Chains A and B, each alone.
Chain A
């Protein structure tokens, strides 16, 4: 599978057609079903979109770089007429009555939306093992997890089933699976991309982001989905600067990269450390400068996140009650009907987080837990503000560990939460960040480098990723069997 930019050129020159690409994509998805990457395929919708794209190409009226390109969507993005479950039995068989904002944007750009990708139930997980419809497998080693919660979107790209996909990132759910599968993943600034039509997990942290095999493709997808939407009250009414040319130019001379001491301590796998060190070295060779910095409140990010995210989830998930959508477990009494429906529909991790959120929001505990976590959030945000006074971007490992074996962490929620320890603070602060392939372990497991930017400055981290891509071979390596 070629990159979006390469396929765009092939479609523009007439050397391939959108229908040809779609046929190849559908065949490959069928042949790799055991990966568990997809929950639903939309062959008829995709066929119609591909034919329309080919008709435009024949008449010389292509809509842009995504016209005719097959893409996949995480299953928490609602799609009119296509089953959307967010990996949960609570929405089993749900057919949404509308398209979310980003879905409308991608359709308007002419892209061919082939299907919905598997994920940890309602976004709650770091391994894509907590889907109610079975785990996603890592194409680099099918006995291992692909990371999560956007594991299906990551694997769809890493296994070269589609050249690009969208995920969502609440605490690292785009970046961490991108790192564990050897691809690029971007979490834009909070508010850059409308959340209208994203099934909410934690509303102050959730952000939709693209996944792809090159930084340029990441930029193409980002430009297609970013921008103001009156349908989301947290959507920013700020202009989106074009970034694709800067990514291509890949000029990082004089760029100051902060290296925060707190992200390189214990818990970082030695092979992750050496690969990310080498990637930072490549950026230095390209002319960037590295500066030691400190983000002193990093140690509190995990705790603050696991108070704020469950609290918001407990509120958001109150909407699943068996009244307006999803299956209902009948009972002659209303409250019992709610309870039976929710007990049957939610998995163990979701229930745990709803109860945790209910606990920390309850009278008597609110200020000690939720209030305190929000004050810590102020400190974490201030850490980034101070750091960005002296550096242009910040580099850290994306995940402290490479992909782990399926089942290795499911019995211990805290061990699972630690897989997101390097990515959580970014969501709490609202800054943009991406994961770029940094290298491989001796067992050929991918390692990711996280690049964190100033608020609204997606351009600088994409430019740095462009420089890394130009100087290192890692992102061009596909898993041997795919």
Chain B
């Protein structure tokens, strides 16, 4: 994995700024991440060599029926409680930087 790929991944994962705004990651940190992730991918890559044609994927260890509860109103968190831990509550919502001009 190259330092460029690490920087792209960090942006995709919202761990680094959009490209036009610079970067939060130092070169040394990016090199270290590239080295570590290459080592991990080198290990797990062995799986791609297995011939698993015809094997169905498993998403859960226990086969689970689709769980739909009855369509009735349940208990809800009161608005003040839901907003109590917000870093920037405003009136009856969560404030975020302006996204629409």
Contacts and interface: CB of A to CB of B under 8 A. Distances in A.
Interface of A: 94-98, 189-191, 204-205, 230, 233-236, 300, 302-304, 306-307, 314, 318, 321-328, 331-340, 342-343, 346, 351-352, 354-356, 358-359, 362, 368-369, 371-379, 381, 413-414, 417, 427-431, 455
A88 B44 CA distance: 27
Nearest to A355: B9
A431 B67 CA distance: 20
A339 B21 CA distance: 11
B28 interface: no
B47 to A, nearest CB: 5
B48 A427 contact: no
Contacts of A377: 57-58, 61
A352 B60 CA distance: 24
Given A190-B62, A322-B87, A327-B87, A359 B47 contact: no
A230 B74 CA distance: 11
Interface residues of B, number: 53
Contact of B60 (A190, A328, A375): A190
B30 to A, nearest CB: 11
B61 A94 contact: no
Given A332-B97, A335-B18, A376-B52, A234 B60 contact: yes
A204 B9 contact: no
Contacts of A325: 85-87
Nearest to A318: B14
Contacts of A323: 86-87, 94, 96
Of A346, A356, A368, most B-chain CB atoms within 10 Å: A356
Contacts of A235: 67
A355 B33 contact: yes
Interface string B61-75: 110100101000000
A184 to B, nearest CB: 22
Nearest to B99: A334
Contact of A97 (B24, B55, B85, B96): B85
A456 to B, nearest CB: 9
B48 to A, nearest CB: 5
Contacts of B57: 371, 374-375, 377-378
A91 to B, nearest CB: 9
Contacts of B39: 413-414
A336 B47 contact: no
A277 to B, nearest CB: 28
Contacts of A414: 39-40, 43
A328 B6 CA distance: 24
B3 to A, nearest CB: 13
Nearest to B85: A325
B55 A379 contact: yes
Given A342-B14, A358-B13, A374-B57, A331 B47 contact: no
Contacts of B97: 331-334, 337
Nearest to A380: B58
Contacts of A304: 47
B71 to A, nearest CB: 12
A375 to B, nearest CB: 4
A268 B45 CA distance: 24
A430 B50 contact: no
A368 B43 CA distance: 14
